[in-house]
Amino acid sequence: MLFQVRMDVNIPLDMPVEKANEIKAVEKAYSQELQAKGTWRHIWRITGQYSNISIFDVESNEDLHNILQGLPLYPYMNIEVMALNRHPSSIRDNDS
């Protein structure tokens, strides 16, 4: 199942820089592991914002939910999820 996920990050301004940097480093490693597995297919930064648009390929809604809750920055995010389905007018035979 493919999902588009928008993640807006809002780290508290009073969080110590060292703690924020540590969380970001763990987040980066977690996301890159999922990218290497093909679960986190794409990630794009939204220009001018601390936000991204990502594409996930997972087995179920619950799988995506668990992945998102596992993000170290999850407590500081607003997340919007949109399920994706192949469009009948697409000229592509696959998701590439």
Residue 96, pLDDT above cutoff 70 = no
Report the CATH number that the domain containing residue 51 is assigned in CATH.
3.30.70.1060
Asked if the model's pLDDT at residue 8 lies above 80, the reply is yes
Q: Is residue 63 part of a domain?
A: yes
pLDDT > 90 in the chain, percent: 89
Whether 67 is in a domain gets the answer yes
Q: Which residues contact 75 (CB under 8 A, 6 or more apart)?
A: none
User: Does the residue 13 lie in any domain?
Assistant: yes
- Domain extent at residue 79: 2-84
Average of per-residue pLDDT values in the chain: 96
Q: Hey, which residues does 81 pair with through a beta bridge? A: 5
Is residue 3 predicted with pLDDT exceeding 70?
A: yes
Altogether, the residues listed in the chain come to a count of 96
Query: In this structure, is residue 96 part of a structural domain?
Result: no
Number of domains in the chain: 1
pLDDT score, position 92? 85
Within a domain: residue 91?
no
Domain for residue 56, yes or no?
Answer: yes
